[in-house]
Amino acid sequence: MTMEFSIGQHNAHYEGVYSAQERDWRRICAVDKADHIAGLLGASAAGVGNVLEVGCGTGAVLARLSAIGIGRDFTGIDVIDPATNLETDGAASAPFRWSSYDGVTIPFADGSFDLVYASHVLEHVPEPRAFLHELTRVARNFIYLEVPCELHARTNRRALQSTLDIGHINFYTPDTFRLVLETAGLHVAGFGTYDHSLPVHAFHSSRVKGLAKSLVRKSLLSVSPELATRLATYHCGALCRRVEPPPPRDR
């Protein structure tokens, strides 16, 4: 019996020095990711002081959060040393700090950060709930997660292999994403379903093609998010808070 999928070294796609195109891609996508966080935080953003990103990559999302005024002190950690591909235009000095970690235990004390987030990371980790527990442990107020919802009517083996090749080993719908969060002890305080921005759609094609694709996808999403996510890959983001266990009952 042959294996259905080709399984390579997990997350090998992210090792080494990124090309200029890859860095540009991440910088453009960072705008969307940070804006999603800002949108769900709303007025609560004013109370965010220190921020931790787990799976920070080039640091572009933290840099964007700083640029739009969310947070005053920023820490980024990743299993790959962030120095390998760090965005240095303003994000290499205080109030930014960067380090690598083992991918299991976040090296900070309980309740260390006002906002802890991992954007497009959960789909990569072997133990999603253990990962969520660690995020929750070091969070004082908010936890934000975002994933691509890649399971829908048009998902096939070829699509799964393609996304597996870039390290995705967990696949979600909006409902299964919420289920993982809630069964990890998180309260979902805000939830959003998102399409890419026009610059992202146009990045690998042309502005005209990107605009046409964006109009179709955004129209479908505005008419029915439930139908849209059953037909194509959109992104879902969740702003969460820890669910405190109930006090013990008197006997």
In angstroms, the CA 106 to CA 232 distance is 34
pLDDT digits (tens, 9 = 90+) for 47-67: 999 999 999 999 999 999 999
Q: Are 40 and 104 in contact (CB under 8 A)?
A: no
pLDDT digits (tens, 9 = 90+) for 230-240: 999 999 999 99
In angstroms, the CA 150 to CA 172 distance is 6
Average pLDDT over residues 116-145: 97
pLDDT digits (tens, 9 = 90+) for 178-215: 999 999 999 999 999 999 999 999 998 899 999 999 99
Report how far apart, in Å, the C-alpha atoms of 55 and of each of 92, 113, 215, 240 are. 17, 15, 31, 18
